[in-house]
């Protein structure tokens, strides 16, 4: 009995991650908007001395904090409304990329074996992992006539999203590989780091979906031919 190729190689994993990311963005926006509601205080003792001859005294002072991060240590509101959301968004993009690439490799094993080829992906000699995967899908007969939409999605992922992801994974968010940052909609520089907007994550995920759909449609056509 012939196995059926999955309708799409990544929608469940990617869809679940995307849904969770959307809720994180929503909850974080609510948290930032109502940041003052999350400020708490604790009382601590502090030694105060007016001058060198003053014996001084121990007094109790109230310290404002959020989850233990106090105003004495940091500009804690800026940390929780600007810095931490930036780190949250970069982790979303990194996770989306990891899920997408993992599912792509799984799909190659499935379709290659289905078509009588080794399920093992050939070793990469040069280029990116994504371009290597697409090259090998083409080598087994898929994507013989990729659409302009596919090419645009691939170009965005391989020549833009990949570098942003790599700069966060390997360079702490500093744009060492990402070029023309000022021309990328949804990407800005915060301090020295790439700041990824929620809108950019949406556009990157959309490109993953476009590539996924056309790749799977191509596999189904080959199976049915």
Show the tokens assigned to 37.
């509601």
Residues 6+ apart with CB under 8 A from 144: 138, 218
Q: Which of 171, 16, 178, 197 is nearest to 99 (CA)?
A: 16
DSSP 121-167: PPPP-SS-HHHHHHHHHHHTT--SS--HHHHHHHHHIIIIIHHHHHH
Total domains, the chain: 1
Would 46 be classed as within a structural domain? no
Furthest C-alpha separation in the chain: 95
Domain ranges, residue 141:
11-37+79-224
pTM of the model: 0.85
What digits encode the pLDDT tens for the residues 79-122? Answer: 999 999 999 999 999 999 999 999 899 889 988 988 889 999 99
Would 53 be classed as within a structural domain? no
- Residue 8's pLDDT band, with cuts at 50, 70 and 90, is low
DSSP 174: B
What digits encode the pLDDT tens for the residues 165-208? Answer: 999 999 999 999 999 999 999 999 999 999 999 999 999 999 99
Would 219 be classed as within a structural domain? yes
């Amino acid at each position: 009995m012939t196995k059926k190729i999955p309708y799409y190689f990544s929608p469940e994993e990617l869809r679940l991650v995307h849904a969770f990311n959307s809720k994180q963005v929503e909850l974080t926006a609510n948290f930032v908007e109502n940041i003052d509601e999350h400020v708490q205080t604790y009382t601590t003792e502090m030694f105060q001395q007016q001058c060198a001859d003053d014996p001084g005294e121990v007094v109790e002072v109230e310290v404002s904090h959020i989850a233990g991060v106090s105003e004495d240590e940091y500009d804690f509101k800026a940390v929780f409304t600007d810095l931490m959301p930036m780190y949250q968004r970069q982790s979303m993009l990194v996770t989306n990329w990891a899920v997408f690439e993992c599912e792509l490799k799984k799909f190659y094993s499935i379709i290659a074996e289905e078509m009588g080829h080794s399920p093992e992906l050939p070793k990469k000699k040069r280029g990116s992992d994504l371009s290597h995967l697409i090259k090998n899908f083409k080598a087994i007969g898929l994507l013989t006539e990729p659409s302009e939409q596919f090419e645009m999605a691939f170009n965005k992922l391989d020549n833009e999203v990949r570098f942003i992801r790599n700069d966060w994974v390997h360079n702490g968010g500093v744009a060492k590989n990402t070029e023309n940052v000022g021309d990328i909609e949804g990407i800005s520089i915060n301090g020295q780091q790439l700041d990824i907007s929620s809108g950019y994550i949406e556009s990157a995920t959309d490109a993953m979906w476009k590539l996924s759909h056309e790749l799977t449609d191509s596999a189904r056509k080959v199976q049915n031919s």
